[in-house]
Amino acid sequence: MATPHIESLKEDVSPLVIMPGDPNRCKYIAEKYLNDYKLINEVRGELAYTGYYKGVKVTIFSSGMGIPSMGIYSHELFTEYDVKAILRVGSAGSYTKDLNVNDLFLADSSYTESNYALNYCGSSDKIVYSSVEFNDIIKETAKEMNLSLKTGRTYSTEAFYTESIDMDSLVNEKSCSCVEMETFSLFLNARHNKKIASALLTISDSFVTKEALTSEERVKNFDQMITLALESIIKIK
């Protein structure tokens, strides 16, 4: 089978999907962490690989950048490929002094000013939540791995470059700890289709300290997050 954006055979896609935004990060994860992996998608340059992590079949699938792109791929995976769970792994920019570069962050919810929910399913919601049970698995796994994990709400924006943004309002009124571009549509799609979703993020830059990782570091320096994601998702039954 195929969709307009995915050329994979249904049997080649695992019910358990790790979803970075960057195709290069997909390739990196597959090559470093999976056994017996194979390339299953390269339509539009969005790479996907399926292999085995500790004997469990896992798919690594790039979402591309932004709410619309994540919305397309997560929808098609949930509805056409019977994917059960998607765990986004990505980067985020910190809005608070409590979140520093390289910190691990687990999103429990996402706020947006986008009309994605209205267009997708007629919902007026601007805040959506991750799967509580999945987040509990991730938190417990982080403890087992002795990893420090911070939790909170992301702001999912449609614009990477902005001339003005009310960060005080986002932090103090909307309770957003950091900003990224994909989590809202993933959580909304999962809720609407009765699936499981969460998001693990590494803080790649800070609006407070002005520190930032390079593009190369964003691909290769996220190993703690990737390992935590893999160790967590294989616990889903």
Q: Which of 117, 230, 104, 113 is nearest to 177 (CA)?
A: 104
For residue 30, what is the enclosing H or E element?
helix 23-33
Structure tokens at 186: 């993933």
| Distance (Å, whole) CA 108 – CA 137 | 13
Q: Is 205 a catalytic residue?
A: yes
Half-sphere exposure of 134 (CA within 13 A, CB side): 28
Choose, from 22, 82, 103, 205, the residue flagged as catalytic.
205
The answer for residues whose C-beta is within 8 angstroms of residue 105's C-beta and 6 or more apart is: 92, 99, 149, 150, 151, 152, 177, 178, 200, 201, 202, 203
Contact 94, 100 (CB under 8 A): yes
Element housing 56 (H / E) = strand 56-61
Cα Rg of the chain, angstroms? 16
What the block records as the tokens of 36 is: 């017996």
List, by residue number, the catalytic residues.
205
